[in-house]
Amino acid sequence: MAHLDLSPRARKLPRPELEQIVKLVVNATSSTVLAVGQSCDAKSGVFHVVVDYQPDRYMIYDVKKIGGHWKITHFEDASPTLTSLFGDLC
């Protein structure tokens, strides 16, 4: 968890919540989680998780707490350019 890049809103999550998000995505992908964050305009409770899927290939997973458990709600390919903008999240 020490290697994660976290947006300000992700830093505010209780550590057990953050650990659940990371574990969920790692178990689904067997990939390394690089970052967790939330869009500045997001009011839906969705967090974005960037994973190192393959060399020079990244994926973004959207996760949301539903019924008390974190669930993956969407995922898509992400370019290295897009992931470098991840620091702009809130």
Q: Which domain holds residue 78?
A: 5-88
The per-residue pLDDT for 2 is 67
Q: Look at the block and give the residue holding tokens 């996760």.
A: 63
Span 11-61, pLDDT tens digits: 999 999 999 999 999 999 988 898 999 877 766 789 999 998 777 788 899
The per-residue pLDDT for 55 is 72
Q: Is the dihedral of CA 10, 11, 13, 19 positive or negative?
A: positive
The per-residue pLDDT for 45 is 87
Q: Would you say residue 83 has pLDDT above 60?
A: no
Strand partners, 16: none
What single letter denotes the amino acid at residue 68?
G
More confident residue, 3 or 14: 14
φ/ψ of residue 88, rounded to 5: -80, 0
**Each residue of 19-47: b (16+ CB within 10 Å) or e?**
ebbbebbeeebebebebbbbbeeeeeeeb
Domain count within the chain: 1
What CATH number did the domain enclosing 58 receive?
Answer: 3.10.450
